[in-house]
Structure 1
Amino acid sequence: MAENFEKLECWKSCNELKLFIRQEILPKLPKTERFELYSQILRASRSATANIAEGWGRYHYKENIKFLLNARGSVAEILDHSLEAHSWNYISEETLQEIRDKSDSCIRLLNGYIRYLRKQNAEQ
């Protein structure tokens, strides 16, 4: 297991997605969305990395997996909010595709880490 959550590839990938959201999406949303879509996508992006960190801190495989599943749900939520932003023409097709690519990477890495932890748990 990694010496801290910042070393986890899934955390790094989700953090990269979070930074992309903050730099490329949030500034493009209109002020009328400040307490709606803006707030939702910001919270989901924060939740993904926070759940990975919290799960890592639990030191029990089953608890860690539970938080990783929550992180995976947050990444899916980011994609859903991004689809909405695109449908309202707040973001371009290219930006949406970049979010899809980053989300897919996050989910692949999360799934791999979940598989690893389930295997470790089964071997105990």
Structure 2
Amino acid sequence: MKNYTELEVWKFARALVKSVYQLTKHFPNTELYSLTNQINRSVISVPSNIAEGIGRQSDKETIQFLYISKGSLFELETQMYLTFDLEYISEDQLKVILEQLSSCKKLLNGFINYFKNKL
């Protein structure tokens, strides 16, 4: 297995972190310890759990951490819809983030399937 930093799925997840942080830095200060914090924690979870999964001893453990990443993507997707509903982001910003999320989901699903097929 490659170093996790060479994996496309990790690179896409890392880019997603940057995009989300660029959005959340413009959120109202009243959201700093609630929605902003939760969104940032969700997005950080994605590449972090990919990396942790690669560092595990077995493919079964790796898959478990990849599923955690996948769950974080779905959590983040919901939070992005909420930020749009609250008018913290525009429809165009939502569209860009959802496209990035979709790419990450596809790559992550492929990576999960790769490990499942190895079992």
TM-score by length of 1: 0.93
Structure 1 equivalent of residue 74 of structure 2: 76
Alpha-carbon distance in structure 1 between the residues aligned to 2:35 and 2:16: 17
Structure 1 stretches lacking a partner, 5+ long: none
Which of 68, 83, 86 matches 2:84? 86
Structure 2 equivalent of residue 38 of structure 1: 36
Contact kept, 8 Å, 1:28 with 1:91, in 2: the verdict is no
Deviation string, structure 1 residues 19-57 (Cα, Å, up to 9, x no partner)? 10111x112210000001100000001111110010000
Alpha-carbon distance in structure 1 between the residues aligned to 2:4 and 2:49: 10
Contact kept, 8 Å, 1:45 with 1:75, in 2: the verdict is yes
1:1-124 correspondence runs (5 A): 1-2=1-2, 4-23=3-22, 25-121=23-119
Alpha-carbon distance in structure 1 between the residues aligned to 2:33 and 2:50: 26
Alpha-carbon distance in structure 1 between the residues aligned to 2:38 and 2:31: 10
Percent of pairs with identical residues: 38
TM-score by length of 2: 0.97
Structure 2 stretches lacking a partner, 5+ long: none
| Cα RMSD for the two superposed structures | 0.8
Aligned length: 119
Q: Kindly report structure 1 stretches of 4+ aligned residues shifted beyond 6 Å.
A: none
Cα drift, residue 112 of structure 1: 0.3
Give the secondary-structure state (helix, strand or coil) at the position aligned to 1:28: coil
